[in-house]
Structure 1
Amino acid sequence: MLKQEHEKVANPIVYSCYYTRSREGEQFVQEHVFSYQISGTLILNDGSREYAINPGDFRFCRRNTLLKFNKLPPAGGEFNSISIYLDQKTLRDFCAEYGYSAAGHHAGNAVLQLKPSAMFKGFVDSLMPYEQQIKQYGSNVGLLSLKIKEAIMILLQSDPGLKDILFDFSEPGKIDLEAFMNKNFHFNVQLKRFAYLTGRSLATFKRDFEKIFNNTPSRWLLQRRLQEAWYQIKEKGKAPSDVYLDLGFEDLSHFSFAFKKTFGVAPSKI
């Protein structure tokens, strides 16, 4: 079953560890995330491009983006990464304290692969002694607030242009709904999330959607996903078990039922 990551985290510093098995799913990235890949490989896809994150890589994921992920442990080893979540309040407080501001909205890739540096590595190493404390006893608010501030400082020092991303506090503006949905139809998120990301209330999203597509969002999403499934299976030779998760279906049986109802044949029979 496709699983979604939690949108909120209890601590701003999160250790991710999986043994032997891979784990895939998708998530709405609600806050900026600065991460370091310790072991294993992370594959991310934002609907337009794929990013391969390998051991020793640093990455920055922008807030208000949709990402599919696949966490792959190495043979006989474990997947391990550490992520620092940079929430809006912390960033606003940082701006007020140090006088930073964004020059304007900065569009770009959902994931930035950062150039490794001794400064980044030294920061990550400084977090390791607190791993078990954070896992077992919860966060030390004073200590973690200092480490988060340090993370922001080294990001800005490594690339001053990141200020236009970090300190852009604007919410998603009203964008081209047709282009957005054709790019992101395969993400299994609620309609209210699609509405938010296109700069609309849920009611306005539904109204605009029906004007553009002459269909309800739910029906269109099902039809569009099934059309893509037919193409992937018939033309690309993929197995149903390889496509249903990527196209936003939660389980194979539901996908097979909907596919047969629409096309009159089970996907396994094509």
Structure 2
Amino acid sequence: MEFKTNYINPDIKLSVFEDELFKTEALFEHHLLVWFISGETKIIQAGASYVFNAGDIFLIPRNQVATVINYPKDGLPHKAVAMHLTVERLRDFYSGIEVQSITDINDKIYAFKNHPLLQSCFSSLLPYFDLQEKFPEALAALKIKEAITILRTIDKNVDGILANFETPGKVDLVKFMESHFMFNLPLEKFGYLTGRSLSTFNRDFRKTFQATPQKWLTRKRLELAHYQLTAYAKKPVDVYLEVGFEDLSHFSFAFKKHFGYIPTAISRR
């Protein structure tokens, strides 16, 4: 696997991936603004999925969990520039700005296609990745402020995301887990997203579902995989990553143990 990440600043990076695919489960601690140079990315969230290609620019809100699958395409590597919009930088940016309170916050991914202002902001960073000199923090702060200002200019609703500094509160466990079970996150992360410590999450989970989190998650992922294979005639290789498994052979083993037959047997019925 050939995966390279070049940071010119802790909050600004260029990533290059040249293998067949690269998949990760991500809980975004900071808002992430991304510009694709080449390749393709599929992002799967609870109830939504997105596909982005060369030239696309998008914003992933923080505290959102997603499956991210990156592919090279058209003979070119998967290549992207990403900018972390941290809470600290955003607090500083909004300190002198009055923002109208927004109660219904949308956690969707914001897509900006190849907006010329954002593209210009990102492309101006490319020469710095080839320099040996240290990228000045003052310049990084200016570029990030430029990006935030452009976002607010082209989308008036983005303040509702960027100026929201709250941490996740305690949420309904059944509703959350039924819509997020396909994400292969540590239990500590599930606890954080539901507003619970790890011990409280485990206690509430066993009481609510009458099972351990590991057993329940495996069963739900296998049931979703079975549905995808039967209802949409998908192949196991196209399903296992999206339902939360990391390895095809492990998926096949667990599938047979649960259903009594291997997943490829469905297509032969």
- TM-score between the two structures when normalised by the length of structure 2: 0.86
Aligned partner (choices 236, 240, 243) of residue 236 of structure 2: 240
Q: CA separation in 1, counterparts of 2:162 and 2:148?
A: 9
SS in 2 for 1:91: helix
Cα gap change, 1:219/1:10 in structure 2, threshold over 3 Å: closer, same or farther? Answer: farther
Given the alignment of the two structures, is residue 88 of structure 1 paired with residue 87 of structure 2, yes or no?
Answer: yes
CA-CA distance at 1:199 after TM superposition: 1.6
Question: What code does the residue aligned with 1:13 have?
Answer: I
Contact kept, 8 Å, 2:9 with 2:140, in 1: the verdict is no
* Aligned counterpart, 2:203: 207
Question: What code does the residue aligned with 1:124 have?
Answer: F
| Percent identity (aligned) | 38
CA deviation vs aligned residue, 1:17-56 (integer Å, no higher than 9, x gap): 2236333333111110112122222221113112122222
Q: CA separation in 2, counterparts of 1:247 and 1:260?
A: 16
* Aligned counterpart, 1:36: 35
- Number of residue pairs matched? 262
How much is the aligned-residue C-alpha RMSD, in angstroms?
Answer: 2.6
Matches within 5 A, 1:71-110: 71-96=70-95, 98-101=96-99, 103-110=101-108
Q: CA separation in 2, counterparts of 1:261 and 1:72?
A: 31
Aligned partner (choices 205, 223, 227) of residue 227 of structure 1: 223
SS in 2 for 1:182: helix
Matches within 5 A, 1:104-183: 104-114=102-112, 116-133=114-131, 139-183=135-179
Q: CA separation in 2, counterparts of 1:82 and 1:121?
A: 11
Cα gap change, 1:99/1:80 in structure 2, threshold over 3 Å: closer, same or farther? Answer: same
The worse-fitting range, judged by mean Cα deviation, of 157-166 and 136-145 is 136-145
Given the alignment of the two structures, is residue 193 of structure 1 paired with residue 189 of structure 2, yes or no?
Answer: yes
SS in 2 for 1:75: coil
Contact kept, 8 Å, 2:128 with 2:135, in 1: the verdict is no
Q: CA separation in 2, counterparts of 1:65 and 1:76?
A: 31
Q: CA separation in 2, counterparts of 1:245 and 1:131?
A: 32
Cα gap change, 1:52/1:253 in structure 2, threshold over 3 Å: closer, same or farther? Answer: closer
- TM-score between the two structures when normalised by the length of structure 1: 0.86
* Aligned counterpart, 1:13: 12
| Structure 1: 5+ residue stretches without partners | none
Contact kept, 8 Å, 1:25 with 1:70, in 2: the verdict is yes
| Structure 2: 5+ residue stretches without partners | none
Contact kept, 8 Å, 1:105 with 1:165, in 2: the verdict is no
Cα gap change, 1:247/1:137 in structure 2, threshold over 3 Å: closer, same or farther? Answer: farther
Q: CA separation in 2, counterparts of 1:260 and 1:26?
A: 25
SS in 2 for 1:63: coil
Contact kept, 8 Å, 2:41 with 2:51, in 1: the verdict is yes
CA deviation vs aligned residue, 1:179-216 (integer Å, no higher than 9, x gap): 21111111110111111111222222222222321222
Cα gap change, 1:232/1:163 in structure 2, threshold over 3 Å: closer, same or farther? Answer: closer
Cα gap change, 1:211/1:160 in structure 2, threshold over 3 Å: closer, same or farther? Answer: same
SS in 1 for 2:128: helix
* Aligned counterpart, 2:68: 69
